[in-house]
Amino acid sequence: MRHVAVASLCLALLSSALLVSSPSRAEAQTATDQAIVEQARSWIGTPYGAYGAYCSGFTSLVYREFGAYLPDSPASQYYSGVPSYGEAGDLVFFDEHGYGISHVGIATGHGTVIHSSTYYGAVVETPIYLIPGYVGAGDVL
């Protein structure tokens, strides 16, 4: 019986939290996240390094469109955000060679990442598991 009371209390608290939170804020965030992914996709096929589109340069170029100015290295970008779960529009970071964060891209929210790749020589969208050394993700907006 005690477990039922605790579960009911938790459900009541969750319901009140959902009623208090602003749905327009959540919808706006989702729209921004999707806009970031679409902006990143518009760069697909751009040669690596063109217009400054090396990995962290690419993420900087995309986020600049949304008023966010990111530092110039993957490691600096890692420390400029808030840890996240790698949802759409979040930055995702990799330690490809075991010497620290060396690569960054933008999560799509569907298990892929859009990134400027030296391997492919261009901005591409690939499954996240194909990039070695996943470190974590960050939300910078």
Helix 55-64 / helix 23-41 crossing angle, nearest 10 deg: 130
97 catalytic residue (yes or no): no
132 touches 105 (CB < 8 A): no
Of 3, 55, 97, 110, which one is the catalytic site residue? Answer: 55
| Three-state SS at 7 | helix
Q: How far is CA 96 from CA 22, 48, 103, 104, in A?
A: 39, 17, 7, 10
Tokens of 131: 């990039």
Cα torsion angle, 97, 98, 104, 110, sign: positive
The residues carrying an active-site annotation are 55, 103, 115
